[in-house]
Amino acid sequence: MIATIAQELKNNERFLLATHVNPDGDAVGSLGALALVLEGMGKQVVAYCQDEVPEFLRFLPYADRIVREISAPDRFEVAVVLDCGALDRIGSAAEVLQHVGKIIHIDHHSSSGDFGQLNLVRPECSSTAEILYEIFQAIPVSLTPEVAENIYTAILTDTGSFRFANTTARTLAIAAEMVSLGVGPEKVAGEIYDSMSPERIELLARSLDTLTLRSDGRVAAMHVSWRMLEETGTSFIDTDGFVNYPRAISTAEIAIFFREMDADEVNVSLRSRGGLNVAEFARIHGGGGHHNAAAFRLGGSLSEVVEKVLTEAGEFIVGGRQ
């Protein structure tokens, strides 16, 4: 499949690239890496994401060229959908994408469906960017420092700074190669981890205040409400990574972060360590993800959803251990 996709990238001229709403480091980095490689091959490229690139990722080469609207979709020969478990994860442009002749789908989520004509889903890879690296080798194409910075950042963020179970020897070898191509680990870490606004720290402080432990500390959760965002002058993007705080508690087997979407919908992010498969838990509610990181949305008020999910998580720990 990698060779087939490499051939498609060589044979076509006009590409539309798209990734998921609420873009993370892998989404923005994968878009940037593929867009820059294709441009280097002389191709025409438009890279799309429905939502704004979060502030801490705007240093990435190409991030400022990502567009938020697609015009004349039928002019593209190929659409490449990156890091999306389902086509509707693209958001409002999912419909528009159907007008493109061919869809290539590249992802590493274990729950990813086959919505493209060509589907490359590799759950054993740390990130979508890691899969792209293999495609770039198959083309083959030499990587510029700008491409390398996109790949490195995508891997760094999707592995939680090389801490999660998806960090393999191969992941580290690719990251090392990116550094040898000119990426500065200290520079990237500074952009991503040491660039919090005072407003965001205030939001984190308020969210930490909601920390709740259940089932003898094996379930740890915190939340952010609309009101907290309003009062601190922040947005949902600013909650990125907050789930890692309950996850860091030594007794926590499942960490949960609740984000109030509106009056009757809540986004639920799940993290686990070791054997518990939270993607399975997320699937019960129509969500998806990876073994140790998953998410879903649930109807109801924030307090209702928190109560319901905390109870279910306690039951899941007892019944779901593999």
Binding status of residue 107 toward Mn ion by CB under 5 A = no
Binding status of residue 240 toward Mn ion by CB under 5 A = no
Our CB check for Mn ion shows the closer of 73 and 123 to be 123
CB of 128 vs Mn ion, minimal distance in Å: 5
- d(CA 20, CA 51) in angstroms, rounded, equals 8
C-alpha distances out from residue 197 to 28, 167, 244, Å: 20, 29, 18
The residue with its CB nearest to Mn ion is 26
What residues from 49 to 88 belong to the interface with Mn ion (CB under 5 A)? Answer: 83
Our CB check for Mn ion shows the closer of 164 and 281 to be 164
- Crossing angle of the two packed helices 128-138 and 25-40, in degrees rounded to 10: 20
Our CB check for Mn ion shows the closer of 110 and 127 to be 127
Our CB check for Mn ion shows the closer of 83 and 191 to be 83
Binding status of residue 130 toward Mn ion by CB under 5 A = no
Our CB check for Mn ion shows the closer of 109 and 206 to be 109
* Selected range binding Mn ion among 8-16, 25-33, 35-43, 229-237, rule: CB under 5 A: 25-33
Per-position x/- string for 253-292, each x denoting binding to Mn ion as judged by CB under 5 A, each - no binding: ----------------------------------------
CB of 112 vs Mn ion, minimal distance in Å: 10
The tally of CA atoms less than 13 A away on the side-chain side of residue 181 is 17
Our CB check for Mn ion shows the closer of 158 and 260 to be 158
CB of 317 vs Mn ion, minimal distance in Å: 26
Binding status of residue 158 toward Mn ion by CB under 5 A = yes
* Selected range binding Mn ion among 12-20, 119-127, 178-186, 230-238, rule: CB under 5 A: 119-127
Our CB check for Mn ion shows the closer of 154 and 317 to be 154
Binding status of residue 26 toward Mn ion by CB under 5 A = yes
CB of 90 vs Mn ion, minimal distance in Å: 14
**List of residues contacting Mn ion (CB under 5 A):** 26, 83, 127-128, 158
